[in-house]
Structure 1
């Protein structure tokens, strides 16, 4: 290592900070780290940075944008060789959203998911709306009414507050 050159630990820390600052393309109030999608950042001996991400669900259309944004951000921070690895195991859980991420969702007017359901085996299919006791992210009142189980992204559902009548998105529990 040349005198004055950053150490391997410093380079790895810089790569992790850069990767952790990338925002989600569908919910830009969240970083990939706060969403729990960024699983790891490694630095190889040859200087190649590998970022590992897990999709929120299989087939998530935002994965290509996440990959491109990670590559761009790491290159902007001086890492010319970047790989993005997609890991499907373990499957992402909404429980991985950080407390900071949950606060960012609420500040943006979205309802954060509650605890993910615990299941052994396959997820049972139901065509009925999921019953949730949600607090309105605007006024805090409970008893929101479902409007649609499908919001602008596959990860969200639409609700309306029974008290202030404002609509809001709820990030689904997975």
Structure 2
């Protein structure tokens, strides 16, 4: 029996080939950026959730999504829009995505904040919870710099974003 994929499945599969330009171990689906896909005839409209407004990678991601979907013969037009509702949160990152961040040397954000609003992450290299926040401002708006007291490595952590 031959099982063929629907166009929507093919489109989503193509979107999974688009990786974050700054973190090449995680695709935008596992990063939790895919909002909705709608198809009308040969036109595909994709809604993406930006991780941070003003992120310089958003334009590149949009272009890469258009390019990936345009490779499908069944598609003649691709429109990509960024939406703010629902907002992206740290909880949007899949388990696979959290592992991909660790492989890149970035601690994934905690799933929940502490009751006082603080947050704690484990070192992506040794797994130790014993680390200090060196600078809330990392190399990009979505990351902070930390230092592991156990393995003595500096590392980055994704900043937690949640809806209160």
TM range (shorter): 0.7 to 0.9
TM-score, normalised on structure 2? 0.87
> How far has the Cα of 1:117 moved from its partner?
4.5
Supply the distance in 2 between the matched residues of 1:13 and 1:137 (Cα, whole angstroms): 33
Supply the distance in 2 between the matched residues of 1:106 and 1:77 (Cα, whole angstroms): 32
State how many pairs are aligned: 157
**Any idea what the Cα deviations from partners look like across 1:11-59, whole Å, max 9, x if unmatched?**
22111110122111122211110001111222112x1011110111222
Pick from 102, 107, 119 the counterpart of residue 103 of structure 2. 107
- Is the 2:132–2:148 Cα contact (8 Å) retained in structure 1? yes
> How far has the Cα of 1:116 moved from its partner?
4.7
2:67 maps to: 72
TM-score, normalised on structure 1? 0.82
Choose between structure 1 and 2: higher strand proportion: 2
- Is the 2:35–2:47 Cα contact (8 Å) retained in structure 1? yes
Structure 2 unaligned segments of length 5 or more: list them.
none
Supply the distance in 2 between the matched residues of 1:50 and 1:42 (Cα, whole angstroms): 5
Supply the distance in 1 between the matched residues of 2:62 and 2:8 (Cα, whole angstroms): 19
Pick from 70, 83, 90 the counterpart of residue 86 of structure 2. 90
Structure 1 unaligned segments of length 5 or more: list them.
1-5, 119-129
1:144 maps to: 131
- Is the 2:23–2:104 Cα contact (8 Å) retained in structure 1? no
Q: Which runs of 4+ in 1 moved over 3 A?
A: none
Indicate the RMSD between aligned Cα atoms, in angstroms. 2.2
Larger Rg: 1
